[in-house]
Structure 1
């Protein structure tokens, strides 16, 4: 088929949801609409407001089509989320993965989940293992679970709502779910033992067209009735797509948003540590990708609520006065999951610039620790909001000793998702090189941070 020129990417992140229009010839963003991704607290448990998101998606598709035209729709979402379907309705709400309900069944779940050697998926808190969510829902809400006919990973839930076609897909099945065995390229033994395998629809490639938009939705939005919709992809893996095949040797992508996720394509999985939030993701071609991550965006917002661009004097003072942030401010995740979070100086005594500098250096140091687990490629490309944080990138270049560049695109996630259509060029803008940070005392500052982080 002729690749679509204008592609609407539905991009549902944990914090915000967007519909972004991408030019399929240039990779440029043409227009975008966004809304907070709110969590509802009523009902069985905290859950996604799927109906508000659905109304936002349809309204955005209609307005973007009216203003610019839409020739195709692609989908990407955060992981650790699934829709449990009873035929053509939700059997129960879409669980918020930050809800601690699954921890109630932690002991029982620990007896059935696969070994790390099989799943390359570490045991994570709350609902960050999708298998733990499903297990808890089955145990806690057995009557509702008995009506489940299909388990749809999150991108594929929205694809079903658009096309009426139910599908599974490996990037969402393989992102720290316990449901997938990356090396064997099939479901984990737990899925078979628990009887869930019959609930997963046929696996489709992420880069495939499930079908055309449903006639009723075409009428609502004004889109053509033959507008194609892709199967969809996990958001971190969408960030990889523009780079797959574009680099020689191993390379590292840092996909940032609520999470900072370090993925080294062509790297080895041998240094992964199941106790330190490192794992193997599965790329769009089904290949294991060593990965380590922490909630970098969430921590930045918590620690630097009035962030500004720090001046040279701010950076020099933070390093010279040994002002440090120590992990971990979102407990239970990242390479220091049990770290006793603290500042070495009361942050209220700092100016906004000094505080932003200290937090940016902290994020770079935690990222380096992630790279010790996932491996560091011959070059690093930063995607998403942290690509705009110059100090973070400069510090990372010094810490790793390899070239670091900031993506020139607003987010590699939407660009990558648009590339699920065959023939679409992920050209976008050239990454911007980031010079290493050259400030007296930085090496000693980092050495002290590493000593404190490991002692806390």
Structure 2
């Protein structure tokens, strides 16, 4: 008997992953690949879309003919803020422009002169002024910088929907990609922002469907349910939303640490915007308020500096556990010691200075300062909402010092950590499933752990 499975392509900027999940969402197969970047017409690095398309088809066709598995459904999770532009024949017109590509300042200024001011626009769209990371701005840039090319666009598809289009041939839009810091969506009106209509951009945006939409197709002689794709951050949030009954904050940690509040019903406040809050979008079109800090990036930089200073191995920080005595010694006369490399903070000194003679002391000082930033980020995401549950996943979920400190500084919240490198892939599988999740799902699939604050001496 072949095992019935759901297939998921999870496309990150670095790793391209393919998973098979059984009916209980247990991973039964995976494979990874990477592609070298190519260059766009300005010499800026970008995704090799042609190689990606070949790999997608090759993997899927191979698994489809497997003697071990029967694919019943397939869905797609990818990074956001990226458009694929198609002509009337369905051919790709441009490179997949990298969302880190700098935008011409004149174009951005012209946009805000016409549709600003920036603060009002940020409040309405849940999008900070972030250049190409606001994918809607890419369409505006194309219209005015490359007008002849823009005229040839029949459809602009966000990357998750383009990957789906490769298999279905049906151009569609869906909520999580539209609502993710694109500058396209007006959260108050629950429709595209007025600038989209003023510029005629809506004509090249395909019909919007629910993220849970699936298309039943005969693919190479097999009946398969094909999903329309989902933005990876919204996908990672979905298993929590579906299996937890009470309100919660999810902190997804990695290079960026993103505190997500999927229960915030209000538009962003002026204070939120000042703190660089943005909105992601849930699959039902509701906002998920997000507060971001460059925590993992800063951590990597600082532990490298500490390892060089104390002449220890570069991985020594991984062996440090929380030490109560060191912590209480530090907070007796606490002062800020670290100047951040990639974070702006009013408390940081002009230079990094400390008088510790052991790595462990300096490391605890670093972690206290980083966690204080993290706590502020969590409080910003929480806002006025009464939320008592806190979940942390990703790279910092197994950092003992980080977890003990977050638990200590947020004693009023119940802290649980989860361990799943499959977050967005599992979310994409759940999005096209009719299965109801219960509270045991996270425990079974995510190695859920509860943490109790330490006792203050």
How many residue pairs align between the two structures? 422
* Equivalent position of 1:445 in the other structure: none
Deviations along 1:6-41, one digit per CA (max 9) or x if unpaired, are 122211223332212222x32222232223465433
* Equivalent position of 1:393 in the other structure: 403
Match of 1:34 among 26, 32, 35: 32
Give 1:252 shift: 0.8
Match of 2:390 among 380, 383, 402: 380
1:215-230 maps to which residues of 2 (within 5 A)?
215=220, 225-230=222-227
Give the Cα separation in 1 of the matches to 2:100 and 2:293: 14
* Equivalent position of 2:310 in the other structure: none
Which of the pair has more CA radius of gyration? Answer: 2
Instruction: Go from structure 1 to structure 2 and tell me whether the alpha carbon gap of 1:248 and 1:82 turns closer, same or farther (over 3 Å shift).
Output: same
* Equivalent position of 1:184 in the other structure: 189
1:197 to 2:202 alignment: yes
Match of 2:453 among 430, 436, 446: 436
Task: Please report the TM-score for the alignment, with normalisation by the length of structure 2.
Answer: 0.80
* Equivalent position of 2:97 in the other structure: 95
Mean CA deviation greater in 416-425 or 73-82: 416-425
Q: Equivalent residue of 1:80, what SS?
A: coil
Which ranges in structure 2 are unaligned for 5 or more consecutive residues? 305-313
1:239 to 2:246 alignment: no
Give the Cα separation in 2 of the matches to 1:400 and 1:357: 18
Give 1:285 shift: 0.6
Instruction: Go from structure 1 to structure 2 and tell me whether the alpha carbon gap of 1:50 and 1:329 turns closer, same or farther (over 3 Å shift).
Output: farther
Give the Cα separation in 1 of the matches to 2:293 and 2:49: 26
1:412-431 maps to which residues of 2 (within 5 A)?
412-424=423-435, 427=441, 428-431=445-448
Give the Cα separation in 2 of the matches to 1:339 and 1:105: 35
Deviations along 1:340-379, one digit per CA (max 9) or x if unpaired, are 89772499x985x777766655553332222222117311
* Equivalent position of 2:318 in the other structure: 309
Give 1:103 shift: 4.1
1:51-450 maps to which residues of 2 (within 5 A)?
51-62=50-61, 66=66, 68-69=68-69, 70-87=71-88, 88-103=90-105, 105-113=107-115, 115-124=121-130, 126-212=131-217, 214-215=219-220, 225-269=222-266, 271=269, 273-304=272-303, 306-307=314-315, 308-312=317-321, 320=329, 329-330=341-342, 336=344, 344-345=352-353, 360-375=367-382, 377-401=387-411, 402-424=413-435, 427=441, 428-436=445-453
Instruction: Go from structure 1 to structure 2 and tell me whether the alpha carbon gap of 1:299 and 1:86 turns closer, same or farther (over 3 Å shift).
Output: farther
Q: Equivalent residue of 1:284, what SS?
A: coil
Give RMSD over aligned pairs: 3.4
Instruction: Go from structure 1 to structure 2 and tell me whether the alpha carbon gap of 1:278 and 1:230 turns closer, same or farther (over 3 Å shift).
Output: same
Give 1:394 shift: 2.5
Which ranges in structure 1 are unaligned for 5 or more consecutive residues? 216-223, 441-456
Instruction: Go from structure 1 to structure 2 and tell me whether the alpha carbon gap of 1:136 and 1:302 turns closer, same or farther (over 3 Å shift).
Output: farther
Give the Cα separation in 2 of the matches to 1:358 and 1:38: 39
Is the Cα–Cα contact under 8 Å of residues 81 and 96 in structure 1 kept in the other structure?
A: yes
* Equivalent position of 1:22 in the other structure: 21
Give 1:300 shift: 4.0
